[in-house]
Amino acid sequence: MSSYLTLEHVGMTFKTQSGNFRALDNINLEIDKGEFISLIGHSGCGKSTVLNIVAGLLKTREGVILLDGREVSDPGPDRAVVFQNHSLLPWLTVYENVRLGVDKVFSVSKSKKERDDWTRHNLELVHMSHALEKRPGEISGGMKQRVGIARALAMEPKVLLMDEPFGALDALTRAHLQDSVMDIQAKLGNTVIMITHDVDEAVLLSDRIVMMTNGPAATVGEILAVDLPRPRDRLEMANDKRYHELRAEVLDFLYRRQLRPAA
Amino acid sequence: MNANVIRLEIVGEAENGQSEVKHVKQGVEAPPCQPAASVAIAPEEGAKKGAWREKGAAMLKNILLPSLTFLLVGVLWAFVHSHVAHEIPSPAETWDRAREVLAHPFYENGPNDMGIGWQVSYSLGRVMAGFALAALVGIPVGFIMGSSESFSRAWQPLIQILRPVSPLAWLPIGLLLFKAVNPSAIFVIFITSIWPMIVNTAAGVKAIPRDYMNVAAVLRLGRFEVTRKILLPATLPHVLTGMRLSLNIAWMVIVAAEMLTGGIGIGFYVWDEWNNLNMPSIIVAIGIIGVVGIVLESGMNLIQRYFDYNRQ
């Protein structure tokens, strides 16, 4: 009962045309407040399924999810999601996309002026103040993802859920955004679950890396604590012995112990 | 006047060709998406000159080539008139008639003799009335079909059977129901317009990305908010596509419908002039019907582009 977010015996079975598919089996996880957790595993191992269950976007009958002492099952802004493909509404401007969430979450607790300020503040946090009136179609992929992060942050979620947030970006943009996320998380102390298949990203950003076994019936294989001091600098890490040990450990898990038979 | 007409036509065609992906299946047309803006990287010096030259060349092409076509068709027409079928009026005769007709488009000589402007206005009035009624019914029905699997299952077969039927086949039923020609013509346009609206709206609702609904779920938007803030704006481009297709077909159908119903209207005008064996008038009317069609199409294109949130 000490952890902030708890997953207890979470499992998931999908009904398909060719019978039942057991996707997840007995997932147990305890996450502390302010912790940055990465879920890593081969594609198809059910990482996204775990995230969607926590978000409430997928329902399961097996297991319980407790957040801040309460069971959660429906989606809600206390578990804001940063979607892989940003999912900004293309007919709204950058500002309006963030404001939509702000208006919804703080409809009572904040005045109009405060909501406006809060929207702008969060867009500033992700360095998007210059493009408030632009539409998603007018900005780059990296910028869209920044706005997606701002939208999620602006809901002041208890947990920030990020589903391969940088997967669709080029390497340089990805590095920029990773740094931004590290800065923001250091500043705000968010609790984060991030899905990734990028080993460096996992080691650089996380406090703990949850490595998942291959499906079907995927589950938590191993949990690796990343004991690198913060703030972490990308360039220093390149020469850090411990960083490389941790990296090697994740790689070893992914490519030796969990090598995909079909791949 | 001719030069303007030519220009419009070419612009319209170029846009259709470039910016629309047509789904052949079920006549559903994807909403237009603008091609990515091309970025011209040219050195400052001499760039302006080159740009002007390019623009001039494009203008020349856009005006010169269509003009040539018109000239060619005119020559062919004159040849047909003089050597093949003398009954076809000569271009000169037609031109004279056009000037005559267009000189007083809104004259009134009693209910059976009105200017071409009136004829077109009456036809447009019927099209707009039928079109508006179809939108009023078709768009909500399309929304329900798109969002309810069972409703769609229930109604899809009937719609599939009725959709390919020529709207004119409904005219007798209209006459039977309304016992008057004007409402019957409007009824035919209603039937014409409703199918593309239903089908495209339903397709638009079905095409809403799962992600948008996930966003709505995370934000805990209510049913009403989801409709207003997500469903409607996300579907609007498809709805407008349906409306544009409807309007195009409606304008074609009204001419035929009016030939059958009589009264005032560009369709009956054509038929009446045929009975008077006034061929130049018919050719003039064909030209006018075409121009009005282009104007309607461009109007819908403008509206569609205004609401196209993907435009750069």
Q: Return the residue in B208, B210, B213, B218 with the most chain A beta carbons within 10 A, the one to mutate for interface testing.
A: B218
* Full-model pTM: 0.77
Looking at chain A, the whole-number percentage of residues with pLDDT higher than 90 is: 71
A156 to chain B: closest CA residue = B219
3-state SS, B138-197, equals HHHHHHHHHHCHHHHHHHHHHHHHHCCCCHHHHHHHHHHHHCCHHHHHHHHHHHHHHHHH
Query: Could you report the per-residue pLDDT of A216-237, keeping only the tens digit for each?
Result: 888 998 999 999 998 899 999 9
Q: Do A75 and B214 touch (CB under 8 A)?
A: yes
CA distance A90 to chain B (A): 6
Q: Read out DSSP for B213-247?
A: HHHHHHTT--HHHHIIIIIHHHHHHHHHHHHHHHH
User: Residue B220 is nearest to which of A77, A81, A138, comparing CB atoms?
Assistant: A77
* pLDDT at B50 (0 to 100): 75
SS3 B36: coil
| Residue among A215, A196, A221 nearest A206 (CA) | A196
B222 to chain A: closest CA residue = A104
Query: Could you report the per-residue pLDDT of A139-175, keeping only the tens digit for each?
Result: 999 999 999 999 999 999 999 999 999 988 888 889 9
SS3 B97: helix
**pLDDT confidence of A3, banded at 50, 70, 90?**
confident
Handedness of CA A104, A107, A112, A115 (dihedral sign): negative
pLDDT beyond 50 at B170:
yes
Q: What are A38's strand-pairing partners?
A: A194, A209
For residues B227 and A87, give the distance between their C-alpha atoms in angstroms, rounded to a whole number: 17
CA distance B275 to chain A (A): 53
Query: Could you report the per-residue pLDDT of B174-189, keeping only the tens digit for each?
Result: 999 999 999 999 999 9
- Apex A136 CA angle, A133 and A139, nearest 5: 85
Length of chain B counted residue by residue: 312
pLDDT beyond 80 at A58:
yes
Q: Do A85 and B220 touch (CB under 8 A)?
A: no
**pLDDT confidence of A34, banded at 50, 70, 90?**
very high
- Compute the average pLDDT of residues B75-80: 94
Query: Could you report the per-residue pLDDT of B189-242, keeping only the tens digit for each?
Result: 999 999 999 999 999 999 999 889 999 999 999 889 998 999 999 999 999 999
Q: Do A87 and B214 touch (CB under 8 A)?
A: yes
Q: Do A80 and B218 touch (CB under 8 A)?
A: yes
pLDDT beyond 60 at A112:
yes
Whether residue A52 contacts residue A247, with contact meaning beta carbons closer than 8 Å, is answered with: no
- Compute the average pLDDT of residues A94-105: 95
Return mean pLDDT, chain A.
91
* pLDDT at B44 (0 to 100): 53
Return the structure tokens found at B186.
Answer: 């409007």
Return the structure tokens found at B179.
Answer: 């016992």
* pLDDT at B46 (0 to 100): 59
* pLDDT at B55 (0 to 100): 83
- Compute the average pLDDT of residues B89-112: 88
Q: Which DSSP category does A140 fall into?
A: -
For residues A211 and A40, give the distance between their C-alpha atoms in angstroms, rounded to a whole number: 5
**pLDDT confidence of B1, banded at 50, 70, 90?**
very low
**pLDDT confidence of A18, banded at 50, 70, 90?**
confident
For residues B56 and B232, give the distance between their C-alpha atoms in angstroms, rounded to a whole number: 43
| Residue among B214, B228, B205 nearest B152 (CA) | B205
Whether residue A204 contacts residue A47, with contact meaning beta carbons closer than 8 Å, is answered with: no
Looking at chain A, the whole-number percentage of residues with pLDDT higher than 70 is: 97
Query: Could you report the per-residue pLDDT of B264-300, keeping only the tens digit for each?
Result: 999 999 999 999 999 999 999 999 999 999 999 999 9
Contacts of B33 in chain A (CB under 8 A): none
- ipTM of model: 0.88
Flag whether residue B217 sits within 8 Å of chain A, measured between CB atoms: yes
